[in-house]
Chain A
Amino acid sequence: MPMTERTRAAARDIIARYPQGRSRSALLPMLHLVQAEDGCVTAEGIEFCATELGITQAEVSAVATFYTMYKRQPAGDWLVSVCTNLSCALLGGEDVYARLSQHLGVGHDQTTPDGAITLEHAECLAACDYAPVMTVNYEFFDQVDPDSAVEIVDALQRGERPVPTRGAPLCTFVEASRQLAGFHDPRPGAVAGPGVGEPSVAGLLIADAGTPAGTAAGAARRTHTVPTDHPTKGS
């Protein structure tokens, strides 16, 4: 669709982040912005970027086709990415993907007929200590298994928004794309959505064990406390 004045203003905001005369640096965020308007990188979006940045459409296309997060067809409402790289695969990530694929009847980078879900297998998502992981519109669902993954996509198809283990409450692909373009998430509390779970603080919990901070009394100053059955506790 043709770009609105609001989008043009957003593009100018993006360009202003980069040093004078270096507007081409705005291209990646602008392609995210295009996805926030159109749901994927459209021909109009490519033309828009080319015009705003004074480069050719061929140059924009060359960039848009290089990166996996730019979609050439409209993604479903929910982009479900299952990590199948090693640490996740060791704990069943490939099973999770296979089960979802069978359950939804779609393969990699395909969308369910109701337009709800696009499935993809992903490479390592920098959350290997939470394996196996999957993300929905880039929010983390940690330590999933085939059954819990099916429950999550079923809920999505029913129009519900299951709560991610880490990250903000789910937002639409369009909203996520706008954040990727560098704009703040306007939802109150979004930044406060959980960021670290127990694996991130595994070492800290050992340091805490036996110290006042690790006890129930210290819990107010801690997000996670040492589990009572923790073998290193007090040792």
Chain B
Amino acid sequence: MIETAERALIGCVASVDGKPVSPTEAIYEAATLLANSRSAVVAGLGTDVAGARASVALAQAIGASIDHMDAGAVFANLDVMRRAGWIVTTPLQTRTRADTVLLVGDGLLEAWPEMADRLGLDAPPTLTGGARRVFRLSSGTVPPVGAATILPTLAALRALVAGRATSLDEGAFRPLSDLATALAEARFGVAIWSGAELETLAVEMLCGLVDDLNRKTRFAGLPLLPPNGAEGVTQAAAWATGFPVRTGFAGSEPLHDPWRFDARRLIASGEADVAIWISAFSSTPPPWDDAVPTIALVASGTAFGTSPAVVFEVGCPGRDHDAMLFDPALGGIAFAAASARRTVPSVADTVAAIAAALPQC
């Protein structure tokens, strides 16, 4: 099995305790750590679909749990979706049909720098034609209502759209009232937000607003999804386990608990005694430094506070190697050919090699 791993890991750069070693030694060291662990967590999960599959399979094999480095943003959206449901659309429908666009929050450009261009926000809807009106609901555009967060503003806007009384003062009432009128006049409106920025209650309020607007016209949400492959990993985890990340595999059935299987909590509490940290898109070190022995699968050039027990450099999906990836402009998982192909193992190759080196139980 080890020889197979060696072949699969051509171009592998690995180290143990900060010292360069052969791939074979690194795989052996990683497998030994996992074999001797009582409870492991596979975290970070900044990877493509193949990496997610391999990681879930490894976690299932050793009874570990899985988490994603951007799980906070994943659940800001998902908690709303699975509590109340929602009405959503795709980037292509936004580009082709949205005559009214509501941009919510200050973090959209950060979540998707090419958003305005890819959605064609400065141009008419490409299919339905006519004008496109774009409204911004951010700290600089609408007077804040009550508190510093956007939630009370969204609540007031929802009340105005529904024709309910509000206690807004004149300065806040006029612009919000105008906005409410504009949203109700939409023929196909789209509200865009980023789960990385908005708190869950604000997402829920916004989705409620979208729902209300559908009583008379058509409106849909477009959640911008977190980075580091989070959506592809969420989807792959769902079809493989029935759940998103923050799911454990120690029992006979997968167990999903966003509080319990938060990797940072598992490590801080001592419940996890070994971690696998995966970050193939960004040079992000594990946030717990050396609080627990860590097997790091990371992009080249990642700087660590303390050297992890084992480090493997892995390729960037879609750049260094072909990958199936969630693409924000397409709104779905699609094939991404390597843009600058080089010989470096993928997360999937590396995780599979570790799994193959584990003692059979």
Same complex for A and B? Answer no
Residue ranges of A at the interface with B (Cβ–Cβ < 8 Å): none
Residue ranges of B at the interface with A (Cβ–Cβ < 8 Å): none
